[in-house]
Amino acid sequence: MYRPLFSCTVLATVILLFGFTACGPRPPTGNVVEMNGDMFTRTVLTMPAGTSVAFTDDVGGATHFLATGTDGKYAPEAGAPKELTTPIGVEIVGGQTLHLVFTMVGTYHIMCTIHPMMNVTITVKA
Ligand SMILES: [Cu+2]
């Protein structure tokens, strides 16, 4: 039997819980790679194939160009999201979050072309 009042209460509760979660501190867990100025806040990430990674810089607010490779040097890696497999890389500016889906199993080295110290290795498992 359909009870609209109950449904609205459940919906409001879900929105409230989700809202509080989104506003709280966000440690670098799950499929999140945060950037802080000229550093990634994590250097490794392991996740299942077909899931996305949120690259975000809402702390340092810098501009980054992310691509495959290490120490600021581009190296194409087969199977990586196409946005990352260009020498210039994909631009992400402060406050922006970029979601990229990794569909292929493999190990991917992601770096920032203008901040050579920024390196993160993403391992995608079946
Ligand atoms: Cu950068």
Architecture of domain 28-125: Sandwich (2.60)
For the chain, domain boundaries: 28-125
User: Which residues are within 5 Å of ligand 1 (an ion), measured at CB?
Assistant: 64, 112, 115, 118
Separation of alpha carbons 7 and 1, rounded Å: 11
**64-70 and 39-40: which strand pairing?**
unpaired
**pLDDT of 92 higher than 70:** yes
Comparing 17-26, 28-37, 49-58, 112-121, which segment has the lowest mean pLDDT?
17-26
Higher pLDDT residue, 110 or 19? 110
Q: How far is the CA of 103 from the centre of ligand 1 (A)?
A: 24
**pLDDT of 26 higher than 80:** no
With residue 119 as reference, give the H or E element that holds it. strand 115-125
> 30-89 pLDDT, tens per residue?
699 999 889 999 999 999 999 999 999 988 889 999 999 999 999 999 999 999 999 999
Q: How far is the CA of 70 from the centre of ligand 1 (A)?
A: 12
